[in-house]
Amino acid sequence: MADLPLLILLDQNVPRLVVPWLEQLQPNWRVVHTSELGLSGATDSAVLEWAQDRGAIVVTFDEDLADQRAFPVGSHCGVIRLRIWPTTIEATQRALERLLGTIDSDEDLPGALIVVGQDRIRIRRAETRESG
């Protein structure tokens, strides 16, 4: 499974032009947009279900997908919530570049809830218990 590319699903509120930019920045990722999949106007649950079925990480501006009461960490393949303003292509790219500059590897993303704010990045992972 480690040889499979990381699948990133950009939600409908993320500019479509981020797809080719992110693919160029991260050529080992497969990046798709909801509009390419017939998911424009889909509910949060439908978007997350599509992502879960395929092991995709969702990138969104939607605060509802970051609600741990509805979508707890560990119940999905990963959500990157962009909490920035403005929601332009350039601001989105800067936010994703900051995120990529803070993670050690692609393995830090799956299963996590990541909130990229104006001034900080919060990463929450499902708690795992290790015996030792």
Strands 29-33 and 113-117: unpaired
More confident of the two residues 126 and 51 = 51
Instruction: Find, among 11, 6, 14, the residue nearest to 92 by Cα.
Output: 14
Helices 18-25 and 89-102 pack at an angle, to 10 degrees, of 30
The pTM (predicted TM-score) of the whole model is: 0.91
Q: Is the pLDDT of residue 14 over 50?
A: yes
Q: Which helix (H) or strand (E) holds 105?
A: none
Does CATH place domain 6-124 in 2.60.40?
Answer: no
Residue 128's pLDDT band (boundaries 50, 70, 90)? low
* Distance of alpha carbon 92 from alpha carbon 58, whole angstroms: 14
Domain boundaries, the chain: 6-124
